[in-house]
Amino acid sequence: MSRVTLSRYLIEQTRSHNTPADLRFLIEVVARACKAISHQVSKGALGGVLGSMETENVQGEVQKKLDVLSNEILLEANEWGGHLAGMASEEMDKAYQIPGRYPKGAYLLVFDPLDGSSNIDVNVSVGTIFSVLRCPNRNGQSGDLGEEAFLQPGTEQVAAGYAIYGPQTMLILTLGNGVKGFTLDRELGSFVLTHDNMRVPETTQEFAINMSNQRHWEPPVKRYVEELLAGKTGPLGKDYNMRWVAAMVADVHRILTRGGLFMYPRDSREPEKPGKLRLMYEANPMSFIIEQAGGASTNGLQRILDIQPTSLHQRVAVFLGSKQEVERVTAYHQE
């Protein structure tokens, strides 16, 4: 039986679900960019790409060399194809304008070029997260595309995915009709469908959270984690294992594969910030994927995909994964 490549899968989606041809082309271009990023990540010290720059991104975080390189790869791959009206990246302050010499398309691409970059220098899995939105009708307006075009709730996403650069490079993708997993065959140079219908188990005995921040958590999170740690003798009646990679891509991929709960709550150190993770670049695409796989995702009080963004780099608390556990910790917040 012939193997289904990403290209073949997308063509079949065009036939069976009327996926627009320009969206198909956009996904293929993003996938090619992810292959190029995977190649650079795999070089490590041999390619001189480890270590930090002397610059900071818009969030005030010191940029890694691979952060900047990955951002450039995605911009250069996607700017000329005619399928995008604009792009936005976690690494850039403002929206990226498609150069005037290129045609503009109907979609917007939003991405975190290299999630988990603090893990780069220690050879732990990192990844790329992306989200696709339709560009609102600008009614013939010319000039730069403003930030407001991107400020759409996660329910408006037409596609989302991530690439994980680990022992294998994988591309996880949803077009709104389930979640597919593709593994990069380096001999073929193609992503091949290896995980046809990815589902998050409703129950779990694993959770992921940075326990070193425990003293800063809000009471509902402290209560919930204490119950997890109480194990069989506690109110939840079973023992839980904790796993924490400190790269959202890696932690969410584990949860998507075998279940679990990922938590990155707000804390008291920065009470003016509703959370650490970025709504547009991380929380929305991951929430779309997790929901399409039968899981759930909230900020503790409401469904993440229903949140109306107010700024390009808005932050949010995140609780996502196995449905039963997300509902439990969300109920504790709502009480």
Annotated domain spans of the chain = 6-195, 206-334
pLDDT in tens, 42-99: 988 888 877 776 566 666 566 778 899 999 999 999 999 999 999 999 999 999 999 9
Do you know the residue count of the chain?
335
In the predicted model, is pLDDT for residue 140 greater than 60? no
Is 125 marked within a binding site? Answer: no
Summarize pLDDT for 209-239 with one digit per residue, the tens. Answer: 999 999 999 999 999 999 999 999 999 999 9
Task: Judge whether 61 is annotated as a binding position.
Answer: no
CB-based contact 217:265 (threshold 8 Å): yes
Q: Is 115 annotated for ligand binding?
A: yes
- Residue 48 marked ligand-binding: no
| DSSP-assigned states of every residue in 180-227 | EEEEEETTTTEEEEEESS----SS-SEEE--GGGGGGB-HHHHHHHHH
Which CATH architecture does the domain made up of 206-334 adopt? 3-Layer(aba) Sandwich (3.40)
Beta bridge partners of 160: 131, 174
Tell me the HSE value of 307 on the side-chain side, using a 13 A CA sphere.
27
Q: Is 276 flagged in the annotation as binding?
A: yes
Span 123-152, mean pLDDT?
87
What does the pLDDT read at residue 70?
A: 96
- Sign of the alpha-carbon dihedral angle for 147, 149, 153, 159: negative
237 is in an annotated binding site: no
Give the whole-angstrom CA distance, residue 106 versus residue 124. Answer: 36
Measure the N-to-C terminal CA separation of the chain; round to a whole number of Å: 53
The answer to whether the annotation marks 90 as part of a ligand binding site is yes
CA 313 – CA 304 distance, rounded (Å): 15
Residue 58: the pLDDT is 61
Please tell me the CATH superfamily of domain 6-195, with its number.
Fructose-1,6-Bisphosphatase, subunit A, domain 1 (3.30.540.10)
The answer to whether the annotation marks 291 as part of a ligand binding site is: no
Answer whether 6-195 and 206-334 agree in fold: no
> Residue 47 is which amino acid?
G
Give the model's confidence band at 5: pLDDT under 50 very low, under 70 low, under 90 confident, else very high.
very high
Q: How far apart are CA 181 and CA 197, in angstroms?
A: 8
Q: What is the pLDDT of residue 61?
A: 66
Q: What is the CA radius of gyration of the chain?
A: 20
Q: Which residues of 173-200 are buried (b: 16+ CB within 10 A; e: fewer)?
A: bbbeeebbbbebeeeeebbbbeeeebeb
* pLDDT score, position 1: 56
Q: Comparing 94-98, 117-121, 246-250, 307-311, which segment has the lowest mean pLDDT?
A: 117-121
Contact present, 129 and 262 (Cβ < 8 Å): no
> Mean pLDDT over residues 126-142, rounded?
84
pLDDT digits (tens, 9 = 90+) for 148-205: 999 999 999 999 999 999 999 999 999 999 999 999 999 999 999 999 999 999 899 9
